[in-house]
Copies of this chain bind each other. A is one copy, B any other.
Amino acid sequence: MYNVQQENFKVLENGNIATAKGFHAGGLHCGIRKQKIDFGWFYSDVPAQAAGVYTTNVFQAAPLKVTQESIAKENKLQAVVVNSGIANACTGEQGLTDAYDMRKLFAETVGVEEHLAAVASTGLIGELLPMEKIQTGISQIHTAEHQGAEKFETAILTTDTHEKGIAIELEIDGEKVVIGGAAKGSGMIHPNMATMLGFVTTDANISSEQLSTTLKKITNQSFNMITVDGDTSTNDMVLVLANGKAGNQPLTNAHSDWETFYSGLKFVCEYLAKEIARDGEGASKLVEVNVDGSFSDESAQAIAKSIISSNLVKTALHGADANWGRIITAIGYSGQSLNPDKVSIYLGDILVVENGIPHRFDEEEAKNYLLKDEVKILAKLGDGNGKATAWGCDLSYEYVRINASYRT
């Protein structure tokens, strides 16, 4: 957890997806995976305004279709169920039927209307959900021993090495508002997919329209700016639910505390995104790439992603090698317009390239910097005011080991 005390909000100790008023969560082992908790849920006491963003992969998994249908009805959700182990992707008609059945049974058991329930899956592609196990799981969601947000956080993980949860508290109209969340990372489940799932809950009062616009904008600066291996899964999804229990005046752009809420929601999404990047398969460090001075923000995003996605940059960082030539190269093939003679590059505070020409630096100092757990690369372009930040990780032997292993 970050040790952050921002002016506008505070990070709550042990805060999680069920910290906001009226939210509950839990998880259990239903038997899709051998031992790990593999089945989780969260729900609100009352229907919540909801918004979602989904994978752009053409092969969109069945649960995403069902969840989008749920939200489409009245832009509300009240309960979300997630399984790990099997992605229910490339499963045809039967997969779709299973996702509908999962939603129906879950909604009935929680006691909400069907279209207020969402479903998500992550895991192996091309296998059908074991519906009996799913049913067994759903039948136990009210059992006392399975309650708890930490169980939910564990249930959604695949090859992630740790749970990812957070909650922050801020003040709106003098009312305490909480924004919490949980996520699973880009680790590929043995053996198939890099799925990113993000779930955010808040007791703020906000319209679904405002929520949807804001989520899209923030996702583009957070979840969409991380990369572990550049692969976009069939099951990626980010959902946000706002149940209004904090009792603030409806949040809009015009609300005097809008900036507070916006920066709080952005912080939560960015925190979860960074935790995903840090926990990339085999990763030994979190890498942050800042691009400043490009012709536009979009251009800066493309350049930042080009750098953070380069296998050559990633292996160099794994070896703590101040190999700026690879960074220059990744900038150069990003497809973006820029003046090569104006590009300067910093590793942390260490200037290594100035106006397109190498700048003498202390190799030992640079190596020591790159051995840190968190490493920052800054590319200054000098062409305009565009800027962006992307996060990723190094590329290690361990990544190859995890992903080269036989499924059998």
Contact = CB atoms under 8 A, between A and B. Distances in A.
A341 to B, nearest CB: 8
A124 interface: yes
Contacts of A401: 397
Nearest to A338: B58
A326 B231 contact: yes
Contacts of A321: 191, 404-407
A348 interface: no
Contact of A234 (B312, B332, B399, B404): B332
Given A125-B325, A192-B325, 16 more contacts: A89-B325, A92-B356, A193-B325, A193-B326, A229-B310, A230-B310, A232-B332, A233-B329, A311-B403, A315-B403, A316-B404, A318-B400, A321-B404, A321-B405, A395-B404, A397-B397
Interface string A103-141: 000000000000000000000111100000000000000
A400 B396 contact: yes
A247 interface: no
Nearest to A229: B311
A314 to B, nearest CB: 9
Interface in A65-105: 89-92
A307 to B, nearest CB: 11
Interface in A347-363: 353, 356-358, 363
A367 interface: yes
A332 B397 contact: no
Contact of A125 (B232, B328, B406): B328
A340 interface: yes
